[in-house]
Structures are given as structure tokens and as C-alpha cells.
Amino acid sequence: MLTFIGLGLWDERSITVEGREALRGADRVFAEFYTSRLMGTTVEAVEAYHDVEIEVRDRAGVEGDPGPILDAAEESEVAFLTAGDTMISTTHVDLRLRAAARGIETRVIHGTTAEAAAASLTGLQNYRFGKATTLPFPYAHGGNDVPGSVIETIEGNRERGLHTLVYLDIKRERGEYMTADAAADLLAGGYEDALAVAVCRAGSPDPVVAADRLSALDERDFGDPLHLLVLPGDLHLLEAEALVELAGAPEEVVEERTV
């Protein structure tokens, strides 16, 4: 059995009860933290809290060389951990399909996701989000501007009145995590007056949610990562009220997007 377990958003306690039971019952535990990580804890703290030993794999060790994980799952109960949910945004469908091809039974124990947190913390309605996108560091795509694919996603959603969730680049091996103010600065050139919402440290005891124009958000310091940015589309009256009350959005800015 290969069990994919989402750890949730923040620390060793963010896992579900079902996930905790499966983790503690596993014979071997693998994990990856190259696409995201739990900023409120360490691997050592997760091991101590759940009384397990975790074998952390890098991208090459999961996507390029999954053999050790699959070999172990053929012979024993194996847990595979990621931050958030293992099949949402950070997807490991390929690993699950490889397991199925070898006759290994699999299951998924979900963890809460950044996508769900973004809707919950901002008050924006989940079904009004369109396609999500990831904003990379400029050096990561060889340019000094915003990639065309990001702009196309934002514009496509805005034309349909939908919100855009913008994941911010992570280069964990370099210790670099894009911040909401840096993202706002990158996007302000094309959307200077656009309303945006910074969502910072979702799942932690002190999340920060702040809504304003991009040109205003890029001047703020939102503290430690992880951060997200949301570009709202058309706003329902309830969504508009939520952004003012929950995220401190200026009323005149919100009114421009309210339908």
C-alpha cells in the first residue's frame, strides 16, 4: 500500500486525524518539500511529534527515480507526505499511476490546501475562482518581466469576471520564497490600479490578509512566508463587504469591482 498524505498548511499538527493514524501506522515514510513546505515546523519536529522517521526526497528522487518508494510499497505500508494536499496543486498523480502499474494499492488522505485557505480567509467565494497561475522569479524564466502565460491567465479570468489565485515562486534549495509585496511589484506594471489581496502564512496562528491596489501592496512588508496573491474579478456584494471588513480594502477600490 502506498498512502499519499497531505500534511496541511502550517506545522506538525495541521494533518487530519485520519492522516495522523495512517502516518503512525506506516512501515516507511517518504516526503518531499521542494514544491512547498510547512513553514511552522521542521522535519525533525514532525518526526518527533508523530514518532516516525521520514526519508525526504528531492525532485529527482521522486519524479526521476521513484523506484525506492515503489519497491518499499510493494513489500510494506508506505506513507508519502507533502505539504497541503498531495493531489491538489502539488500533484503526484504520476507516482500514483506508476504504483498502479506495478499492482500496488494506493489511497489518498487529503490535507487542507492553500486554494481553500485563500477563499476562506478572504471571503471570496470558491466557485468564483478561475484558473490559477504561478508567478516565477524573473531569473527563473530568463526575463525581467511577467511571463505571458501568467498575463493570459489573469486576463482570461478577468474577462469572465473570475478571481485569479497567484501562487508565488519557491526556490527552497536557495532559501528563496517570493513575497506578496514582490509579486505586487512585478504585476503593478501591467495592472497598476488593480485590486489585489495578499494572503500570508495561511494556516498559522497569525495569518495576514490585506487587500488594496497592487501599487499600494508593493510598498508593504508582509513578514515571513509563505505568501499568495489573489486578483479578484467581479465582486458579489458579500465578497466586497468581506474584503473591506476582513482584509482592510479601501471601500472606493472595492466598489470599482462590485457588480
| Residue 107, beta-bridge partner list | 3
Residue 89 confidence (pLDDT): 66
Residue 222 confidence (pLDDT): 96
* Cell numbers given for 220: 508593504
Residue 88 confidence (pLDDT): 83
Residue 142 confidence (pLDDT): 73
Residue 35 confidence (pLDDT): 79
Nearest by Cα to 180 from 189, 170, 168: 168
**Residue 160: CB partners within 8 Å, gap ≥ 6?**
130, 233
Block means of pLDDT (10 residues each) for the chain, length 259 residues? 96 97 97 90 97 94 92 97 86 92 97 93 96 92 83 95 95 89 91 89 96 94 95 96 96 89
> Can you tell me the distance from the alpha carbon of 126 to that of 243, in angstroms, rounded to the nearest whole number?
14
